[in-house]
Amino acid sequence: MTDKPTMIEFRDVHKYYGDYHALRGISATIRAGEFFSLLGPSGCGKTTLLRTIAGFEGISSGAVLIDSKDMADVPANKRPTNMVFQSYAIFPHMSVAENVGFGLRRDPRSKADKAKAVEEALEMVGLKGYGTRAAHALSGGQRQRVALARALILKPKVLLLDEPLSALDKKMREHMQVELIKLQRQVGITFVLVTHDQEEALVMSDRIAVMFEGEIAQLADPETLYRRPATRKVADFIGTMNFIPCTVLSESDSGCEVEAKGLGRVHLDPGQCPPLRGGADPVVGLRPETLTLVYPGQTTTERTTPGVIDEVIYFGDMTYYDVYIGGTDIEVRLSMRNVPGRPILEVGAKVDVAWSPTALVLFR
């Protein structure tokens, strides 16, 4: 993975809209053949960044390189990128085949060859035989596939996807996530996806850039992002994280010692103490699934903390418990899988919460 060549490179990219600083010094590389996601809340600049790759937005300073070529003077219609738009942008006055074949208008191939290419593209997205249909008569999922086929028929170096699944219902969205991953592996093209849905980004991407306020807060693979978020903001945006106030007792090359409220004294490895400092009071973060309830009669080799259940939220396959630890100062959320023989506990029950020091991350 790491030795794959660079496909897109951002060099200190800034973008201003009047006084508004939309992109604040983006530097990153996207590798060839990678499924890369730009993740962040609305207004964080992720779509703007995507549009600078496509060429729909100019940049105020810095450089965007695609395949080692500076794109400064290359207009959108000459770039080796194609885009799947949030609204799909299916041409309503054309048939499905006309939509998919639109990009081949300037292609010198014969009519028959182009028709074949269109049919192949439709087959690839699972719409074989839909060519003669009117584009406006398609369902949301089908439009999405047409938009994909239309963008991929030109065999771009990079496929840009602007929130492509946000208009679909949950079932369809989950289905299309898997389809997109498969499609990306099949065609081997670099995919750059913009999304505000952290789950979607985690499921689909090889690497994710988390953006806040025009800056990349962290760029990492999904697992690192989830297990070792670089900042409290990233940790808060991705999944659920319990934050417990703590004091840092000592710090050395072998890690740091912290005293966390309700948990006591804990040693953290260097990987658990990200170097970034936000200036806020230090906290340790713990994911709900790294905490477990110790049922009466059970034993655990992990460290435990006594607590009282404050809230029980039933999810079918899971139950979420909000538990006070260390008096009523600190409440943590933990999730337990509902398996046979594991009763759902009641509010007010006194329990032991088991946790592992290796699951902690320090933020300061």
Partner 1 sequence: MTKSPSLKAYAIGYLIFLYAPIALLPIFAFNDSRIIAFPLSGFTTNWFVEMWGDVQMWNALKNSLTIATTTAILSTTLGIFAARASTRYRFPAKGGIMGLIMLPLVLPEMIVAMSLLVVLLAVGVPLSIFTVILGHTLICTPFAVAILTSAFQSLDQSLEEAAYDLGESPASTFRLIILPLVMPGIISSLLICFTISLDEFIIAYFLAGADTVLSSYIYSQFRFPAKVPAMLALGTVLVLVSVVLLTIAEYFRRRGIAKTGGKDTGGFL
Contacts with partner 1 by CB under 8 A lie at 54, 56, 76-78, 81-83, 85-87, 89, 91-93, 102-103, 105-106, 134-137, 150-151, 154
Instruction: Report the residue number, 98 or 302, with the smaller CB distance to partner 1.
Output: 98
Instruction: Report the residue number, 102 or 295, with the smaller CB distance to partner 1.
Output: 102
Instruction: Report the residue number, 54 or 291, with the smaller CB distance to partner 1.
Output: 54
Residues 118/100, Cβ–Cβ less than 8 Å: yes
User: Which amino acid type is present at position 50?
Assistant: L
Q: What are phi and psi of 241, to 5 degrees?
A: -140, 130
- Closest separation in Å from C-beta 124 to partner 1: 17
Residues 6/31, Cβ–Cβ less than 8 Å: yes
Q: Quick one: how far is CA 172 from the chain centroid?
A: 18
- Closest separation in Å from C-beta 323 to partner 1: 48
- Closest separation in Å from C-beta 154 to partner 1: 7
Q: What are phi and psi of 322, to 5 degrees?
A: -100, 120
Interatomic CA distance for residues 112 and 116, integer angstroms: 6
- Closest separation in Å from C-beta 167 to partner 1: 13
Q: Which of 214, 221, 219 is nearest to 62 (CA)?
A: 214
Instruction: Report the residue number, 17 or 314, with the smaller CB distance to partner 1.
Output: 17
- Closest separation in Å from C-beta 294 to partner 1: 54
- Closest separation in Å from C-beta 110 to partner 1: 18
Instruction: Report the residue number, 34 or 163, with the smaller CB distance to partner 1.
Output: 163
User: Which amino acid type is present at position 80?
Assistant: P
| Per-position b or e across 31-42, b if 16+ CB within 10 A of its CB | bebbbbbbbbee
Instruction: Report the residue number, 83 or 211, with the smaller CB distance to partner 1.
Output: 83
- Closest separation in Å from C-beta 92 to partner 1: 4
Instruction: Report the residue number, 79 or 287, with the smaller CB distance to partner 1.
Output: 79
Which strands, in side-by-side order, build the sheet including 264-268? 264-268, 255-260, 242-252, 283-286, 361-363
Q: Tokens 């600190």 sit at which residue?
A: 330
Q: Which two tokens stand for residue 51?
A: 């549009």
Which strands, in side-by-side order, build the sheet including 35-39? 81-84, 158-162, 190-195, 35-39, 207-212, 215-220
